[in-house]
Structure 1
Amino acid sequence: MKKTLILTTALTGMAFAASAQEVTVMSWGGAYTKSQVEAYHKPFTAETGIRVNSVDADNPATPIKAQVEAGNVTVDVADIELADAVRLCDEGLLEVIDHSALPPAPDGTPATEDFLAAAMVSDCAVPSIVWSTVVAYNTNNVSGTPTTLADFFDTATFPGKRGARKDPTSLLEMALMADGVPAGQVYDLLSTDAGVDRAFAKLDTIKSDVVWWEAGAQPPQLLADGEVVMSTAYNGRIFNAQLTEGQPFGIIWDGQILDFDLFVIPKGAPNKEEALKFISFSTDTQRLADQAAWISYGPARASSAPLVGLFNDGKTEMGPHMPTAPENLKNALANDFEFWADRKVELTERFNAWLLR
């Protein structure tokens, strides 16, 4: 009887331990997090039994850096931008991930060859999406039809408030392109003092008209409420507002800044094994294609692209809405992650000082 009780108690404890498995994933909120919950979190729990706790931040790179440095890590997986992934990995704040252990493409192509090469630059991160920063506008509130990046800075022809992310990343590049600098010369110029001065001088021309935003869900709301007539924004957030809320928004693809988001594991994550399982599951070919049914961000695996089909409304073809659609790439600029990994701290300090002037 005693042995039976001990065995039953042990088995109950094992069952409880198994059911208690969990992973905490930090992302950016809004329509983007919803796309991850539908494409990754729910199927992952259904297949593994591991519960996914979803938490959001304006930029997950900031809190996970603070957690690791404080020795109090509560996040297992974070979704962060490429430049931040490179920087935090170099600083020793992220766990190294064995890319060769990731699932291959359906035809057997190794994951290391299937992921887009431009995003496979960090030993600590696994790419998930290609996205872009664009300029969006409310067709009901803007006079005329803006078509170029220069129109965002032209408050005489297109009067009204502008929304912009309270961060120099992408904004400085857009300022230079709007000032006539060809996309291919932006980073060479921005690497000089004269180039940085020119970018800030261009920003000076709209500074008094800018409403600053910090969270990706804010630009669609600012546009819908009429607080701004144009805003920089993440392309997927604008697409979702158009399709799911019927918002009368337009997108200016001219001068879009292409970027990647990647999954990382903070150093000292409490559930590292579960984190690795989650990342491996969420970045396989099918799952990355599934996310594109919820938001217009392109999958970071080549084998996922042919599987991208309709939006979850069952009728909208997603291809033309992707930042990587040929029509949208005519004057696009890929974010130079090395530039921002090296200069982010310095240029953010200058940006913050400029804001206070």
Structure 2
Amino acid sequence: MSDVDKKDPQYKQIFLERFRKKLQSDKTGMSDLESFVELPEGITPVAASIGPIKRGSEPLPPWLKLNVPKGMTHRPRFNRIRRSMREKKLSTVCEEAKCPNIGECWGGGEDNGTATATIMVMGSHCTRGCRFCSVLTSRRPPPLDPDEPEKVAAAVHEMGVDYIVMTMVDRDDLPDGGASHVSRCIRTIKEQNPKLMLEALVGDFHGDLKVVEQLAATPLSVYAHNIECVERITPRVRDHRATYKQSLQTLEHVTKWTNGKMLTKSSIMLGLGEEEEEVRQTLRDLRTAGVSAVTLGQYLQPSRTRLKVSRYAHPKEFEMWEKEAMSMGFLYCASGPMVRSSYRAGEYYIKNIVKQRENAKGATTMEAVTAADAVAAGA
């Protein structure tokens, strides 16, 4: 419209009129901007040629299209756990991560199983920025709640669960990474719930082995720390402060420092770009470090800002890894698309292993622990 001055009061009306006529005279069958805007020869607007714009997300395979079991809101134990957590303003990974296993874990005790819940302590902000995790990050999270140990212990008592998994956010802003606070939580929970089995899923504390010993000295049943993925992709998956070797060193030190009496556990995610032999090597590395329990599950992208899923491993692959893990000497392995690190943590077999090891805590040799494991395996 070079023949019309843009300052002309009628410019807008003239432009719209010409635009309307141009669209009406279109002979290409396309009533859109492609017929109005002059494009370089051979160039076609992508959206016009392929239809709706795709969002870049692949559809989930059938085995991952699971819903949280219906009817759970009518089950007493499920409601009791949820109510207790909300009243005390505590966080559970189960709800925040929208875990599909929540009904199975929280309601487990009503089906002659073991009810399990996972509580996250030290707030909801983590000082690390792992690219697979949806937990909020902050360089300076809010201060710790000094009353949290008592709140958590009271909540656990009200839940009536048999097994609790207590996880934590990383707090690199604190001198000891929050280890003293976590230790207080563990001791307070056990004081009020002496028969409860307690698993702590903790960080690496920058590889500070003295801090690791501080936690291993608490009345824990299981010391868990996740390796997360195979070594090659660790730098792009986890925060730069979390390394593959540091995680292995942490787990190995717990095993050696407790003379093998503390059950150690770790978890691996599939679907982040790993190769088969790398997964196998990671299992070997964990076993060499003395880890006795391992879980493998499918990584699912929690939001668009997190790493994309590289592939969806078939259920048969998870079955294969479970068999291989057990053949390597792991005492327990849960492997499946929907398995998470705390999935069915308190099921009968792992509870039996813990009991046998606790009975062997007065022993001074690894042989005694091995004998206890053999008893558990034959139960």
So what's the TM-score if we normalise by structure 1? 0.26
So what's the TM-score if we normalise by structure 2? 0.25
Structure with bigger helix share is: 1
Q: Which structure has the larger Rg over C-alpha atoms?
A: 2
